[in-house]
Structure 1
């Protein structure tokens, strides 16, 4: 198809994050003709996620060991002021941080080996009656596809073109990543509940002995001096970095985080949404890598069945309302976290974490066996 300005495929996937790559690869391996379009010219730049993989993901998915950091078993939670933290330790490997650029590249290589026609530096322009408009360095490209998959992020253009639900509840996050200087301490994940630096979410320091991630996230309109000012302020007093001199070479990441739960309408007769585009992110923890892999696998199964059976309404099994109903408790907890608008309120709420029931709840959320609630 090189050099052609029209194409006909079974599936057009827009976006080459983990969700798009996983869905495209599964469909190509099932024997379908898949075109994957990604607007970025390279997958190793503009990383937006911290890249935290939880234990269930590591157990259920094959990820390149060489692109995963050391295991983390210790979580430390702090109130405003950082006094009297609550430390939780697990006897299992709970988290590992992925080196996301190489992970994306490895997943893209797997996709190509599986038969995916991958096009970088190719933008999705919109829909037309006969198919979809794309554009690359050679100019417009018109693609006819039986179905389109929107894996194009929290502010999905595919969702808009298909008339599907779009994310309304978004946090914004930013972090810095730099090489760690091992000091003999165990890998740890430090989280601070303080609305003055992370309104509606958390600020964090994650050290695994190889890299340090320092970040914050929250509601954009509730950062009094802006997101990056809050990040600088937090970095100056962040826990877990005592005596650590920040190097000059720092990777910066930022992006929107949907926390409204799986969206109600994530499929139409023309296609469906996966990953952040579908709101497949935990409303409470904002963890998105496990949901994106599981939901995109479910999407591939539904699309495969629809292509093989050729029935009208073949994507009806991909129902956001069914999935959303299983997020009720997390959505309620999200409202509670949103309500901690002052350090005083956050400190008062934090006292519950010091009680046995509070610690048990925190352990269940952070170290539990639950996962994305597939049908």
Structure 2
């Protein structure tokens, strides 16, 4: 079988499938997994608790979150007594996942582009065609695999851009700064997450509202971003589309299935995708292995996007509401609400809560009910 895309979702799924004694190949058009990184690399506490992540590749814990209005005055300060976030060296995390997949028996081909599938034969640019009984699409927010298999595709996006730079040791305290300002991040926010070693400065918003261009808005924001430390050394740029329409409804068919961004496995509200991609990959691997073993197409119904979407209707609603914050006055009012008792409780639940994405245990999902 073939996995298209060597991101975290693709490599994790491939390793799990190889562990179920399947023959697995992964292809990725990038020649280096350090190229084309699009994620900030924020792992939340729930992911850190539930998955065996390489701790030496994660930055120090972040416990403080500051939420700013457009004026940048009087931020709402949320503090946890636990490490809520750790920022990963994603190039090293991808390479770690690459090595783990190959150690499990996966063949990983870099610099090879997927060029379509028909009749069980997959065309590849940079390699000979391969016969594949099943194709896993882990090829990003605008998945070619999804289109070729006739599965659902993402239609609602944010577009984001980010600068990453090292900072001098001991000059800052780890913190996550979030700015609600429709002038630089319409429909979403600007952020600075500083773990005391690196700072990530970014903006994201709805593409149609970012008329001056995301790169221009990022540079404008970075000049005055709160908590921004003076850079030390080179600056890395990242960016790309972020699907925020929720998990897609039709995720699987007899020819294959989708994982990660290709499946819309990103929190509609926070736009976090690392936790969902790991959880959905575990379910995808279990369902795929059972289907290939039995040939029973009913098995694929366990990988049901409708059941997953029902778990976070509230976040889909909040995503629509956040889209409506189009003026500075509205953003100031939103942060003013967060200063109230109810507002602080809601913000803490979003920033520190455990319910951003449902559990993916294969025994439970088939009978999933709204919660």
Deviation at 1:189, TM superposition (A): 0.3
SS of the residue 1:53 aligns to = strand
Given that residues 164 and 198 in structure 2 are in contact (C-alpha distance below 8 angstroms), is that contact kept between their aligned partners in structure 1? yes
C-alpha separation in 2, matches of 1:331 and 1:281: 11
Task: Give 1:40's aligned residue.
Answer: 30
Aligned residue runs from structure 1 range 1-375, under 5 A: 11-136=1-126, 139=127, 141-241=128-228, 244-247=229-232, 249-373=234-358, 374=360, 375=365
Deviation at 1:314, TM superposition (A): 3.1
Given that residues 56 and 371 in structure 1 are in contact (C-alpha distance below 8 angstroms), is that contact kept between their aligned partners in structure 2? no
Deviation at 1:185, TM superposition (A): 3.8
Given that residues 13 and 36 in structure 1 are in contact (C-alpha distance below 8 angstroms), is that contact kept between their aligned partners in structure 2? yes
- In the superposition, the TM-score normalised over structure 1's length comes to 0.94
Deviation at 1:275, TM superposition (A): 0.3
Q: What does the per-residue CA deviation read over 1:46-93, in whole Å, with 9 as the maximum and x for residues that have no partner?
A: 211100000011111111111100000000000011011000000011
Deviation at 1:366, TM superposition (A): 0.7
Q: What does the per-residue CA deviation read over 1:137-178, in whole Å, with 9 as the maximum and x for residues that have no partner?
A: xx5x22222211000000000000001111100010000001
Task: Give 1:7's aligned residue.
Answer: none
Task: Give 2:369's aligned residue.
Answer: none
C-alpha separation in 2, matches of 1:236 and 1:185: 17
Query: Which deviates further from its counterpart, 218-227 or 95-104?
Result: 218-227
C-alpha separation in 2, matches of 1:310 and 1:273: 18
Given that residues 269 and 313 in structure 1 are in contact (C-alpha distance below 8 angstroms), is that contact kept between their aligned partners in structure 2? no
Deviation at 1:246, TM superposition (A): 3.2
Consecutive unaligned residues of structure 2, counting only runs of 5 or more, are 366-371
